[in-house]
């Protein structure tokens, strides 16, 4: 269920609402400080909102110290506290549709105490989207999550809105096709149902993720328990009935079906979006070069990807080449080095075994003839360790990351990040940093293969200045169309690639999509002559 669109409004340099289309390979081009990184940071901030409800974030769980947003006052557009930040993500939905949540019937039934709504109505869904609104509240002098919107197949399904000092409201768009199969009117209600009926909630807003709505059978008035946003996988009741005698909007075959229906829409959509956001892997523009005595972190966190450390953690934790690592693709980059996993044993020289090995090394192998007398306790002190080595192809010399060119040490975390499983979106800022143009082109091939051939649910979201990287992708599209693609080349099509030009204007961030044709060209010119420098220098 990959991410297909990001929506930003009033976040950092973004003023008016912008929509960012995401395809398997999405390139963000633009000048320095144009706002390319803002798009990536907005997505990571949305995860912070959904997972932790942290509206005043500075450091983010997915980026650690690599990103410091500085809090709401710093990242709201123009530092204007009267503006509301809106950030949303749309994802595609697989055949399973929206999650199901068992709901207890609010009144006793002899046949069963729980029911399941027929899941078939969600099987044909294509996409769901969640948008969060954050606003500054002057009375409490802090930002709050004030609105939670859900879209299904591009149509607004409903929202929960709140003010920290007032009641919250649940709005449901009964004209959405999702509700077409249900009788949403009471027996005496007119046919012209309002599009957005309003339900009064408690003092905060948000369903609980991972748990169905509670006590929501046919009543227009509810109290919400907890926070504005849903909380995933927390077994708390969300909505508690204030008046169970009203029969106003819903008339279903089973009394618990309204709760199941709204749970799957409001809770399920948010849960799926958060799941995808937690699978975003972010690699920042400056990657750390491991020192000579680098020791991996055994419980590596998402934030270690931001400076590339998690890549080295992964490589050092294996005693042999991991199954997901493709040395052939690394060789095709032309880096000049081969990764090798060297296993060895550490034997303390203070033991009888260690002393015998030490004597054998200094004098003769005959010193090891008496190994039968080595006590078993010595063997318990022997540890097995693995060392990652970089072997220089031309000389066979064993070197470390600190001994090779900076460009290679900056690129390898990007390569490992693309190959290693566990992500749906790989965000990289400047993958081409310090890298030779020829390697930039080959890197484009490697990333394309990981996106469209290895796993079709992967997305490469690249903030870049590399003309070489883009030209290689356009070339592969042209070769695919002409059936002249090399045997090892990725079979790229125009629908795989999204090229976005990002520019800072007086009114805020402006994004221009540059459609790609089958012959590997753009159907429109670059805005403001971007990439015209080469022509100016040549001609």
Does any domain span residue 294? no
Show the CA angle centred on residue 445, arms to residues 441 and 449, nearest 5°: 165
7 and 143 co-located in one domain: no
* Cα 309 to Cα 289: distance, rounded to the nearest angstrom: 8
143 and 190 co-located in one domain: yes
Residue 105 has, within 13 A of its CA and on its CB side, a CA count of 15
Does any domain span residue 463? yes
22 and 105 co-located in one domain: no
Residue 115 vs residues 104, 119, 241, 255: alpha-carbon distances, Å: 7, 12, 19, 9
466 and 494 co-located in one domain: yes
132, 84 contact by CB (below 8 A): no
Q: Which of 423, 473, 477 is nearest to 3 (CA)?
A: 423
Does any domain span residue 261? yes
176 and 250 co-located in one domain: yes
Q: What are phi and psi for residue 103, nearest 5 degrees?
A: -125, 130
1 and 112 co-located in one domain: no
71 and 201 co-located in one domain: no
pLDDT of residue 180: 64
pLDDT of residue 416: 93
- Which pairs from 12-16 meet CB under 8 Å and 24+ separation? 12/38, 12/41, 12/42, 12/75, 12/77, 13/38, 13/77, 13/504, 13/508, 13/509, 14/38, 14/42, 14/77, 14/508, 14/509, 15/77, 15/78, 15/507, 15/508, 15/509, 16/507, 16/508
- Considering its fold, how many domains does the chain have in total? 2
pLDDT of residue 256: 57
| Mean per-residue pLDDT pooled into runs of 10, the chain (539 residues) | 90 92 93 88 94 90 88 94 96 83 53 46 81 92 91 89 72 76 43 41 49 40 39 38 34 55 82 93 91 74 89 79 84 88 82 83 77 79 80 88 86 93 93 92 94 81 93 95 92 94 84 91 76 62
Q: Which of 71, 100, 72 is nearest to 85 (CA)?
A: 72
Does any domain span residue 119? yes
pLDDT of residue 529: 58
pLDDT of residue 535: 61
pLDDT of residue 191: 38
What CATH number did the domain enclosing 523 receive?
3.40.50
223 and 249 co-located in one domain: yes
- 3-class DSSP state of 149: strand
Does any domain span residue 159? yes
Show the CA angle centred on residue 435, arms to residues 433 and 438, nearest 5°: 135
* Cα 143 to Cα 134: distance, rounded to the nearest angstrom: 7
Does any domain span residue 367? no
* Cα 359 to Cα 195: distance, rounded to the nearest angstrom: 87
150 and 221 co-located in one domain: yes
pLDDT of residue 23: 93
513 and 431 co-located in one domain: yes
450, 348 contact by CB (below 8 A): no
Does any domain span residue 498? yes
Whole domain around residue 505: which residue ranges?
1-79+281-288+300-309+420-539
pLDDT of residue 257: 62
Helix axes 467-482, 437-449, angle to 10 degrees: 50
65 and 117 co-located in one domain: no
Place of tokens 């022509």: 535
220 and 253 co-located in one domain: yes
pLDDT of residue 418: 94
* Cα 167 to Cα 164: distance, rounded to the nearest angstrom: 8
* Cα 146 to Cα 163: distance, rounded to the nearest angstrom: 6
Does any domain span residue 473? yes
């Amino acid at each position: 269920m990959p991410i297909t669109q990001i929506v930003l409004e009033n976040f950092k340099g973004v003023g008016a609402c912008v929509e960012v289309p995401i395809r398997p390979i999405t390139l963000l081009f633009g000048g320095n400080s144009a706002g390319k990184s803002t798009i990536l940071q907005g997505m990571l901030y949305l995860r912070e909102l959904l997972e932790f409800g942290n509206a005043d974030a500075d450091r983010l769980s997915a980026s650690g110290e690599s990103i410091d947003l500085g809090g709401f006052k710093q990242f709201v557009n123009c530092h204007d506290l009267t503006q509301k930040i809106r950030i949303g993500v749309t994802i595609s939905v697989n055949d399973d549709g929206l999650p199901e949540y068992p709901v207890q019937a609010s009144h006793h039934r002899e046949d069963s105490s729980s029911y399941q709504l027929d899941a078939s109505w969600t099987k044909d869904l294509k996409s769901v989207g969640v948008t969060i609104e954050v606003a500054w509240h002057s009375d409490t002098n802090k930002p709050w999550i004030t609105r939670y919107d859900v879209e299904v197949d591009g149509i607004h399904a409903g929202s929960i809105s709140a003010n920290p000092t007032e009641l919250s409201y649940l709005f449901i768009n009964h004209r959405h096709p999702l509700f077409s199969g249900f009788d949403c009117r009471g027996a005496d209600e007119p046919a012209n149902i309002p599009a957005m009926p309003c339900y009064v909630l408690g003092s905060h807003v948000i369903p609980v993720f991972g748990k169905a709505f509670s006590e929501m059978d046919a009543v227009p008035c509810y109290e919400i328990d907890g926070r504005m946003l849903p909380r995933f996988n927390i077994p708390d009741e969300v909505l508690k009935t204030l008046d169970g005698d009203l029969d106003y909007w819903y008339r279903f075959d089973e009394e618990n079906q309204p709760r199941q229906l709204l749970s799957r829409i409001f809770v399920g959509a948010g849960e799926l979006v958060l799941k995808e956001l937690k699978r975003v892997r972010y690699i920042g523009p400056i990657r750390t070069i491991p020192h000579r005595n680098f020791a991996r972190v055994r419980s590596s966190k998402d934030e270690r990807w931001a400076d590339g450390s998690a890549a080295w953690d992964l490589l050092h934790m294996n005693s042999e080449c991991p199954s997901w690592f493709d040395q052939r693709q690394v060789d095709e980059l032309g880096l000049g080095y081969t990764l090798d996993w060297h296993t060895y044993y550490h034997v303390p020289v203070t033991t009888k075994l260690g002393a015998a090995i030490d004597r054998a090394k200094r004098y003769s192998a005959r010193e090891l003839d008496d190994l039968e007398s080595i006590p078993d306790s010595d063997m318990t002190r022997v540890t097995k360790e693995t060392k990652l080595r970089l072997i220089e192809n031309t000389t066979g010399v064993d070197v470390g990351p600190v001994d090779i060119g900076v460009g290679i040490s900056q690129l390898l975390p990007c390569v490992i990040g693309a190959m290693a499983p566990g992500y749906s979106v790989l965000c990289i800022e400047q993958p081409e940093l310090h890298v030779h143009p020829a390697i930039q082109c080959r890197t484009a091939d490697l990333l394309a293969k990981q996106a469209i051939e290895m796993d079709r649910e992967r997305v490469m979201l690249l903030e870049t200045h590399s003309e070489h990287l883009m030209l290689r992708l356009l070339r592969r599209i042209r070769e695919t169309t002409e059936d002249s693609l090399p045997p090892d080349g990725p079979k790229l099509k125009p629908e795989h690639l999204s090229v976005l030009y990002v520019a800072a204007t007086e009114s805020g961030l402006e994004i221009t999509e540059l459609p790609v044709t089958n012959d590997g060209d753009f159907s429109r010119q670059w805005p403001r002559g971007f990439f015209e420098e080469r022509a100016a220098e040549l001609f």
